[in-house]
């Protein structure tokens, strides 16, 4: 299981292989998937290995990211977590993480959005539970890890809408007499959004919406941390060895994630398509973008940083690069020097005045 998770994270959250539009169906690494004639439960509609396989009956078989751990008091970090329901109608939930500190302290509030190609993982999987425990402890933040709905059962923009609802829930529940942790310990003048991979994409799109629509009570997002974010488009933005087959596969998987609602060069996937006026309204004062050298998305990630800095947006942007590592390596290599250095950069970004 561990090797499967590591492989999936390094491959990225876009189509490693793409989808199979018609029989014969081919499974992982080109292996033929046995089919029973006339049985839609065994006929592959879309093969998004190593993440999931969707069958013609509508059944979805997830190949990773389905294990969960319960909220708890973590002995290693001293962080306590608990789960809350954000929206009963949609089932959107979140896991809150509270670090150990003096009872009178007010701490930054960090909304975190997990990765997983918009199709796997959750706020409750072991990888994200460990990462958020560590981040909450080191940064001294009250973290809210959002469990948004996944495609293909809930194609985009469901994840965006769910995450927006979670942001509004945080703002509403920081008032006295609402959520005990948020109202007593949360400092909304230090509100941050962060996410890795697909979660970084979500965080960006929420900050953009916040800048355009505003937030309840006049709240403002202080910082936006995009950790190896999922951005891409049809153009390799100047990168000099992009595989056309990879770009085609990425377009197919994006189409699968959003049920053909948006092309791959829609601003949801490719912020470079945004006009300068939208960049200028990005609803935060600081942005951190992290890039892993071996990540195939790094050309778009670097272009995002460059475009933001030259757009006329009045905030401060920072780029952090890790050599020799692949996409979101820090999730599975949390104790390595490289991951610890990246964590230290994120902690410093959050705690900078």
Q: DSSP characters for 32-62?
A: BPP--TT-TTTSEEEEETTTEEEETTS-EEE
What's the mean pLDDT in 296-313?
95
Do 110 and 161 touch, CB atoms closer than 8 A? no
Residue 316 has pLDDT above 70, yes or no: yes
Catalytic machinery residues? 197, 295, 327
> Edge-to-edge strands of the sheet including 186-196?
80-87, 92-98, 142-147, 107-113, 186-196, 221-227, 284-292, 316-322
Do 199 and 162 touch, CB atoms closer than 8 A? no
For residue 219 the two structure tokens come to 């709240």
How far apart are the C-alpha atoms of 326 and 313, rounded to whole Å?
A: 30
Tens of pLDDT along 76-135? 999 999 999 999 999 999 999 999 975 567 999 999 999 999 999 999 999 999 999 999
Residue 27 has pLDDT above 50, yes or no: no
330 alpha-carbon distance from chain centroid: 14
Do 86 and 94 touch, CB atoms closer than 8 A? yes
**What's the whole-number average pLDDT of the chain?**
89
Which whole-number Å values give the CA distances from 214 to 82, 87, 208, 350, 353, in the listed order? 29, 21, 10, 22, 23
Please report the pLDDT score of residue 101 as a whole number: 75
Which whole-number Å values give the CA distances from 273 to 238, 269, 290, 307, in the listed order? 15, 9, 20, 10
Residue 203 has pLDDT above 90, yes or no: yes
Please report the pLDDT score of residue 5 as a whole number: 44
The mean-pLDDT minimum among 30-34, 177-181, 334-338 falls in 30-34
Tens of pLDDT along 224-265? 999 999 999 887 666 544 678 888 899 999 999 999 999 999
Residue 21 has pLDDT above 70, yes or no: no
Provide Rg for the chain, Cα atoms. Answer: 20
- The SS3 assignment for 221 reads strand
Total-model pTM: 0.90
Tens of pLDDT along 136-158? 999 999 999 999 999 999 999 99
Please report the pLDDT score of residue 104 as a whole number: 62
Q: Please, which residues have CB within 8 angstroms of residue 301's CB and are 6 or more apart in sequence? A: 226, 228, 229, 231, 289, 290, 291, 295
């Amino acid at each position: 299981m561990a090797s499967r998770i590591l492989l999936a994270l390094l491959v990225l959250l876009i189509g490693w292989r793409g989808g199979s539009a018609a029989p014969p169906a081919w499974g992982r690494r080109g292996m033929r998937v046995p089919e029973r004639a006339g049985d839609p439960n065994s006929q592959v509609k879309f093969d998004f290995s190593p993440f999931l396989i969707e069958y013609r009956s509508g059944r979805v078989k997830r190949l990773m990211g389905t294990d969960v751990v319960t909220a708890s008091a973590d002995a290693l970090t001293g962080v306590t977590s608990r789960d809350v329901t954000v929206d009963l109608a949609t089932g959107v939930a979140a896991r809150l993480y509270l670090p150990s500190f003096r009872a009178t302290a007010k701490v930054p509030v960090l909304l975190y959005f997990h990765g997983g190609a918009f199709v796997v993982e959750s706020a409750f999987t072991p990888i994200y539970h460990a990462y958020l425990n560590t981040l909450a402890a080191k940064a001294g933040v009250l973290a809210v890890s959002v469990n948004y709905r996944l495609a293909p059962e809930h194609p985009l923009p469901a994840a965006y809408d769910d995450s927006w609802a979670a942001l509004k829930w945080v703002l509403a529940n920081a008032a006295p007499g609402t959520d005990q942790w948020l109202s007593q310990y949360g400092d909304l003048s230090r509100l941050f959004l962060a996410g890795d991979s697909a979660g970084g994409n979500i965080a960006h799109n929420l900050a953009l919406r916040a800048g355009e629509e505003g937030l309840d009570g006049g709240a403002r997002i202080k910082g936006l941390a995009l950790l190896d974010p999922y951005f891409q488009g049809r153009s390799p933005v100047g990168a000099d060895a992009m595989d056309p087959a990879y770009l085609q596969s990425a377009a197919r998987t994006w189409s699968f994630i959003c049920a053909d609602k948006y092309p791959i060069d829609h601003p949801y996937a490719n912020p470079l398509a945004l006009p300068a006026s939208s960049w200028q309204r990005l609803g935060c004062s600081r942005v951190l973008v992290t890039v892993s050298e071996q990540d195939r998305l790094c050309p778009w990630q670097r272009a995002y940083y460059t475009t933001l800095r030259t757009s006329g947006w009045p905030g401060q942007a920072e780029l952090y690069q890790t050599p020799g590592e692949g996409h979101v390596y820090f999730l599975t290599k949390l104790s390595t020097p490289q991951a610890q250095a990246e964590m230290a950069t994120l902690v410093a970004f959050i705690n900078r005045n």
